[in-house]
Structure 1
Amino acid sequence: MAKSISKNAIFKAMLNLFNIILPILVIPLVTRSVGKELYGYMGYGDSLTAYFLIFASFGIYQYGLREVSKVRDNKVKLRQTFTSLFIFTSITNIVASAAYMAFVAIYYKNEPYLYTCIIMGFNLVFNLFYVEWVNEALENYDFIAIKTMVVRIVYSALILLFVRDQEDYLFYLYLVIGFNFINNIISFVYVKKKLSFDFSNLEFLRHIRPMLYVVILSNTGVLYTQLDKIMLKDSIGGTTAVGYYYMAQRIMTIINTLLLTVIQVTMPRLSNYLGNESKGEYLILLKRVIKIYFLFLFPASVGLLCLSKEAIYIFGGAEFLAAVPVMIVFSIYMLSIGVEGVIANQMIYLHGKEKDDAILVLIGGVINLIFNMILFYTGTFDMVTAITTTLIANLIVIGLEYRLVKKVIKLDIHLFAFENMKYFYYSLVFIPITLGIKYVISNIMIACLLEVTACGIVYLGILILTKDQVFFELADKIFIKLKLKR
């Protein structure tokens, strides 16, 4: 029997909210303790491992989730699919890990961040046990939430207790890698208890081509923010500029992760509908998901834009205030990747058009590369212009992908209709509200608290006054879950 989407969403939201609160407590301590230079080392190491992780994972999260969702009602096919995909990605993880270690040892042997890169490379090794795609496809969101929260509470407690200054940098580095392994291995053991390997009818060739398209998509995705960080490191700013950029990106990612809750928990169900040729049910759920997602995406993006200085100050302290202009652009970029994520994941990918999408994302990536090179050679390439060109490239991709949805897939969907975009217009009222509070109150923390409260009340008031159907349906469901229905 299908699990409740609302229950799945609650567990996923709990986890994503937890993933916001915890970094707010931990990241400021880490950045103040290790300093912007060492934090920049981690930012660069993270970017480097991201390249190799593309080949290590070989698109298993997106592809595995889709394929397992389709066959999850057939126990034999489920075991066979899981076994085939796990063996295949075990090989890719081992090859990618070896290639990474050899690359780092050869090209960074004299760099101060060599050891950081080597240690962070173990994330590739431990990715061998990453099976969260199975848990999500089977909608085991309760297990994912509880397990991850317990692991990260212990991890954060150790950081708060023992990370105090730059001498603790390596201890922090070991914690990051070690707890990533622990998180993965617990999920692996859990999946193996519920799903045994079935080595009969193993299939590899059938999976290679569609997974390769996902790899291409991931590779072209590297031509966006990952490219920015690599070019920043090799240009005027060095690892310090990467640290500023990385800080703004992490804040955006933390918030965006919470917003993606409704998208993530409905992917398996949408895939299952299409796999069972229930396109009518797919469209009904898709249209509802878009409205719910935009209800939260637009106020979050505009709100982050208005509170960029406060966000940087809370996470990084005064030392990172140079990242505020980057944070402003990242808040707009968050809006764009939210819209692009809906089109790419819930429409294009679930319809098996990953090849077409790979071409479109590649076009956007090449455009971003060209923009960056122009800025570099004209002496205008910096943190702000880097993410601005990435934003422009992503907007171009959105236009191309939406055309694919309408002309090729032919979905009866109107993504940019007023019923969806009205939440963006409502959110624009945050701008004068926050500017007014900043003008009157100079204390950053007090102003931040008042700004969040005022904007939240006003947005809620607008939804109530306009009798927003989506909002009231969500409110009713929440009251029912809490047994507080009016």
Structure 2
Amino acid sequence: MQKSLVKNSVFYMFYNLLNMLFPFITSIYVARILLPASVGEVAYAQNIVSYFSVLAFLGIPTYGVREIAKVRNNKKELSIVFSELFIINGISTFFFSAAYYFFVISVVAKNSNLLLYCVVGLTVILNMLNISWFFEGLEEFGYISLRNAVFKLIMFVLVVLMVKSENDIIQYALISVLGVAGNNIFNIVYSKKFIYFTTKDLNLKRHLRPIFLLLFVNLAIEIYTLVDTTMLGTMSSKENVAYYYYASKVNKIFLQITNTVTMVLVPRISLYYKEKKMEEFNIVLTKALKIICIMAIPIIVGVQFVAPTAFAGVFGDIYFKSGNVEKILSLVLLISPIGYLLGSRVMLVSNHESKMIFCVGMGAVVNVIGNMILIPRYLEMGAAMASVISEVVVMVLYLQQGRKIFKLGNYQFTVGKALIAGIGEGVSLCVMNKLFGISVSSFVFEGVFAIVVYLIILLLLKEDMIMQYMKLFLMKLRMN
């Protein structure tokens, strides 16, 4: 409880900024070197691997954060819980790594680049050493941010040095794997500061039911987030996969921004719920919902005005189509975080994991059906439409289940004011486009100007969250 939510939010924002900056710069370089066909081939291979990674992880990334947060003040209990989850993860990783390579050799190798799939598949094996959930449970977001910065920089340098032509897809895939390996190994070494590995007094069985419940939840989530690329790759060309891949990649960057506060709050709301501090629990949820709306709305509005030109200018003219895909996918930036916060996070901390299976399962079914109908006619645009529809279904079902547990405070005024400010932002972008046109050289300036307009309108409307943070900022200035 001693850790500051503000500091953790800053650290996690920095972490997400690094997650955005280096992959974004790397993507620009790779997009121009590998071109759509090669980018699509690597993206499709990584997409297949993701299914096995989810299976190997079981539900530990989600479950582990909650369980570590509960015992983080007791080193003995902390060490026991960590050791139990680490052993379970090791067993599952061995099994699903073998399953992946059997699948590759028996099915994929007949029609695809066997070496590429073997290299990318190393991420499944390295899953055994991935203990990020441990540090998130401890709220060690400062360490997470620093470690991430180092390895993102190393990966970027390696990509520039080793990826020189569209034939260098193996080098590109291998560098991605090395980045994962470095992060995981460093995590293992650093974890010794907090815990010791033990084989005494372990009870693996107590974790199996919630872990497998969350496995089904995570698998369903991955199905409706990964199946777009999988079905697009089988029903169209690798070029269409590349157009969707870059739109999805950029959208995930924006999604990380809107989910920042939610991710930081997961250990805290777990603790509040465990200690039956329901007033604090509800206050934190309400505050997080307000921040999500304030952050998501201006991004969605901005994307509608600049996406196609921005994608063409940044990644190359050939990726203009990705901008149109992003205009559709951007709607998820508000839908998904709300469902994630008030649905899956609330059900997770209140031990209602089984209800999550139904919600995300329905989302997966809707997404598969949507892809079957829309991809043949609209290709990558159809995949984006199906994704948005499935996210809406999941959010609605999450809220129906989650509202029985939480009681939100007054958030409607914040949503209304954010929408008004969003309209003002859109008007300012229209005016700027008329005056300066839409170009790569102008969209950064126009984007910054539009965000300033958005914030000024919120200040004029005296939106309470903005006013609170403005007062804190002014107090800090006076103290300095």
Name the TM tier (shorter chain): over 0.9
- 1: CA distance, partners of 2:474 / 2:170: 47
- Spell out the pairing of 1:296-375 with structure 2 (5 A cutoff): 296-375=295-374
- Spell out the pairing of 1:404-419 with structure 2 (5 A cutoff): 404-406=401-403, 408-409=404-405, 411-413=406-408, 417-419=412-414
- 2: CA distance, partners of 1:443 / 1:389: 29
Write the deviation string for residues 160-196 of structure 1: whole angstroms up to 9, x where unpaired: 3443322433222221111210011101110123210
**Which ranges of structure 1 fall in alignment gaps of 5 or more residues?**
none
Residue aligning to 1:41: 41
- 1: CA distance, partners of 2:142 / 2:319: 36
- 2: CA distance, partners of 1:217 / 1:314: 38
Question: Alignment partner for residue 463 of structure 1, among 431, 435, 458?
Answer: 458
Residue aligning to 1:228: 228
- 2: CA distance, partners of 1:101 / 1:331: 35
- 2: CA distance, partners of 1:389 / 1:239: 19
- Spell out the pairing of 1:146-225 with structure 2 (5 A cutoff): 146-225=146-225
- Spell out the pairing of 1:238-277 with structure 2 (5 A cutoff): 238-277=237-276
Alignment TM-score, normalising by the size of structure 1: 0.93
Q: Does 1:80 align with 2:80?
A: yes
Give the CA deviation at 1:480: 5.0
- Whether the 8 Å CA contact 2:56–2:124 is kept in 1: the answer is yes
Residue aligning to 1:21: 21
Q: Does 1:134 align with 2:124?
A: no
Q: Which amino acid aligns with 1:395?
A: V
- 2: CA distance, partners of 1:314 / 1:155: 24
- 2: CA distance, partners of 1:6 / 1:22: 24
> What's the Cα RMSD here?
2.0
Residue aligning to 1:395: 392
- 2: CA distance, partners of 1:247 / 1:320: 8
Residue aligning to 1:114: 114
- 2: CA distance, partners of 1:173 / 1:158: 11
Give the CA deviation at 1:115: 2.1
- Whether the 8 Å CA contact 2:247–2:326 is kept in 1: the answer is yes
- 1: CA distance, partners of 2:473 / 2:162: 40
Residue aligning to 1:437: 432
Q: 2:174 is paired with a residue of what secondary structure?
A: helix
Q: Which amino acid aligns with 1:340?
A: G
> Structure 1 stretch 430-439 or stretch 357-366: which is displaced more?
430-439
Give the CA deviation at 1:69: 0.6
- 2: CA distance, partners of 1:232 / 1:414: 42
Q: 1:200 is paired with a residue of what secondary structure?
A: coil
- 2: CA distance, partners of 1:333 / 1:259: 10
- Whether the 8 Å CA contact 1:256–1:334 is kept in 2: the answer is yes
Residue aligning to 1:12: 12
Alignment TM-score, normalising by the size of structure 2: 0.94
Give the CA deviation at 1:405: 1.9
Write the deviation string for residues 250-301 of structure 1: whole angstroms up to 9, x where unpaired: 0011122123221111111111111222222211222222222222122122
Q: Which amino acid aligns with 2:379?
A: D
Q: Does 1:473 align with 2:468?
A: yes
- 2: CA distance, partners of 1:449 / 1:313: 14
Give the CA deviation at 1:28: 0.8
- 2: CA distance, partners of 1:46 / 1:431: 37
- 2: CA distance, partners of 1:13 / 1:402: 26
- 2: CA distance, partners of 1:12 / 1:450: 26
- 1: CA distance, partners of 2:172 / 2:95: 27
Give the CA deviation at 1:443: 5.4
- Whether the 8 Å CA contact 1:46–1:120 is kept in 2: the answer is yes
- Whether the 8 Å CA contact 2:283–2:409 is kept in 1: the answer is no
**Which ranges of structure 2 fall in alignment gaps of 5 or more residues?**
none
- 1: CA distance, partners of 2:312 / 2:475: 38
> Structure 1 stretch 415-424 or stretch 186-195: which is displaced more?
415-424
Residue aligning to 2:446: 451
Q: 2:199 is paired with a residue of what secondary structure?
A: coil
Give the CA deviation at 1:209: 1.2
Percent identity between matched residues is 26
Give the 3 Å change call, closer, same or farther, for CA 480–317 of structure 1 in structure 2: farther
Give the 3 Å change call, closer, same or farther, for CA 189–478 of structure 1 in structure 2: farther
Give the 3 Å change call, closer, same or farther, for CA 4–85 of structure 1 in structure 2: same
Q: 1:193 is paired with a residue of what secondary structure?
A: coil
Give the 3 Å change call, closer, same or farther, for CA 485–298 of structure 1 in structure 2: farther
